Chain A
Amino acid sequence: MSVERVLAGLDVQYAIDMHYRAEVRLWQTGQYREWLNNMVAEDIHYWMPIYEQRFLRDRRPDPTPDDAAIYNDDYGELDQRVQRLYTGTVWMEDPPSKIRYFVSNIEAFDTGNGEFDVYSNVLVYRNRRQLEMTVHTLGREDKLRRVDDGFKVFRRKLLLDARVTQDKNLYFFC
């Protein structure tokens, strides 16, 4: 990260913090359509790359969107994921599972033109059926764009802190 970056002002930091809280509230209450419509830009790239365990001396480049990824979605693909959850035939979510998000360490940088680079940490707690409980932590690198009086995300890179996912799936928004 460049030291010359311009931290966004306090008012913007606060607004982004509130934006993330609202986003989490939509996810926790199953309002996926509202999230997609109001908080996601149509030019979104929603990406969770796969990082191998490699030796420090290994000079191969980091993954790009042309490589294997757990998420590598555009808007239409995110829309399909949302749509699936409203079909009434996703048996694994009936009865519904519980999910709780904790977003912290938010750092917003002003990149001009009403756009911001935002870094955050996310802890996700899932609880399903009677006893299934999983916890994931992720680093999140966003590019947000100001729209009207809010923000829309147009790049989201999710850095999962695990080589082997200790969960049966990662089908949740983050």
Chain B
Amino acid sequence: MTGNPSLVDTVESTQSREIFWDKDVYNLELERIFGRSWLFLGHESLLPKPGDFITTYMAEDKVILSHQPDGSFRAFINSCTHRGNQICHADSGNAKAFVCNYHGWVYGQDGSLVDVPLESRCYHGQLDKARLGAKHVRVETYKGFIFGCGDADAPSLEEYLGEFCWYLDTIWEGAGGGLELLGPPMKSILACNWKVPTENFVGDGYHVGWTHAGALHGIGGELAGLAGNRAEMPFEDLGLQFTTRHGHGFGVIDNAAPAIHVKRDGWAKYLADTRGEVLRKFGPERERLYVGHWNCSIFPSCSFLYGTNTFKVWHPRGPHEIEVWTYTMVPRDADRETKSIIQREASRSFGTAGTLESDDGENMSSATFVNRGNITRDGRMDSSMGVGFEGPHPVYPGIVGSSFIGETSHRGFYRFWKELLDAPNWDAVKANDSVWDSVFLNRDYWTAKLDAAE
């Protein structure tokens, strides 16, 4: 499948339906997408003390993320190097060591093999424990968010996020406190390809009014006008959409950060109290983003809604199934009550029983499984909305689309997905750094639009 130009056509803005169904594509994704990318592991707030650990996944690999005595974080594969048994079965905790259930091999907080039962009598001094530590993955953090990577040749996390850091800083740093995550995560199985929710979060403002019509009626407020697509709205004045070098992207609805929350006084006040400092630090373009609602995906499989403050990881489990993990993002320096209400509201909308979540799951599953059909699968999907109404912007990095309802960040996500899938290694990806955005052909869209406005 690699090198097959038909999987993603960046000229026609279409994708083959095989990308949601084919096992070979999926196996290549495990190796070339998940095996090379920085994958979300956790947030410092989830394991604040030395010895704290959480168990999670990097794609289908089980991983232990562990807070070290020196304050750093390490991650290692959750599998004993003796006979492969899973080392730790708890979701989280605090441990001086991890003991395998099978033969009792003991791993330290850093994953090194520290004790082997009956070692001197049964191994006769021949066991080289230093070589048998649990397999490590790279760990780096950005503003408290912890990522892991299985590719020694991948760029640093900060380079991987690239110009997307410019955007993330707006909220992950904000006025100074930044964001943290509240767990434990809700976990649920959804029968869909992992890219369906990722593309939905990265750039699908279009579905909001129709898929969520019922829920929006109940919530009311700013977004009620979207419900059922009935209102006449000036979509080009309501927000923007962004994509960046490595496929990370988002759409923003202006002035709508807490719009999905019914009980929002504390969160709205927090934003009102801190936006001045964000304006001072980051300027008006990012202050605009700070008080907007974001639908965002960090390539490949981590998504969040800033404003609604749900934070998701889509762990793939084969081409047709994912495990959805749902955390809540809250401002680190908000008061306890505000954090608690944000958590309740985020769970009520996008938790496992969420009023909007259940609408989405239905679509994601059926968009995957219709492709079981041979005639169906021999067809294409379209992501052409807003082609040409996008381009480089004098202030915002990456490529900027003219409306939050568009498919700029969809196209950007699949552009990079194809690039990484085809590339033999990270060096080949880096070679495209100066030309990556050439598929977005209208280079003058923003200069013309901004000139006309003056």
Contacts and interface: CB of A to CB of B under 8 A. Distances in A.
Contact of A68 (B91, B93, B184): B184
Nearest to B340: A66
A53 B91 contact: yes
Interface in B309-334: 323, 328
B356 to A, nearest CB: 10
B328 to A, nearest CB: 7
Contacts of B218: 80, 83-84, 87
Nearest to B89: A53
B189 A165 contact: yes
A135 interface: no
A68 B347 contact: yes
Given A53-B90, A84-B217, A89-B217, A68 B355 contact: no
A165 B182 CA distance: 19
Interface stretch (A21-29, A70-78, A148-156): A70-78
B90 A70 contact: no
B225 interface: no
A47 to B, nearest CB: 11
Which size bracket describes the interface of B in this complex?
A: 35 or more
A69 to B, nearest CB: 6
A73 B186 contact: no
Interface stretch (A9-17, A103-111, A166-174): A166-174
Which 7 A-B residue pairs are closest in the complex by CB-CB distance? A168-B361, A169-B358, A89-B213, A165-B188, A92-B362, A87-B214, A170-B353
Given A53-B90, A73-B348, A171 B365 contact: no
Contact of A71 (B217, B328, B353, B359): B353
B351 interface: yes
| Residue with the greatest number of chain B CB neighbours at <10 A, chosen from A58, A88, A92, A163 | A92
Interface of B: 89-94, 182-191, 211, 213-215, 217-219, 227-228, 262, 323, 328, 336, 340, 343-344, 347-348, 351-355, 357-359, 361-362, 365
A58 B95 CA distance: 9
Nearest to A173: B353
A170 B214 contact: no
Contacts of A50: 184-186
Interface in A118-167: 163-167
B91 A164 contact: no
22 contacts: A68-B182, A68-B184, A68-B185, A68-B343, A68-B347, A71-B353, A72-B344, A72-B347, A72-B348, A83-B217, A84-B214, A87-B214, A87-B217, A89-B213, A89-B227, A91-B211, A164-B189, A164-B323, A168-B188, A168-B189, A168-B190, A168-B365
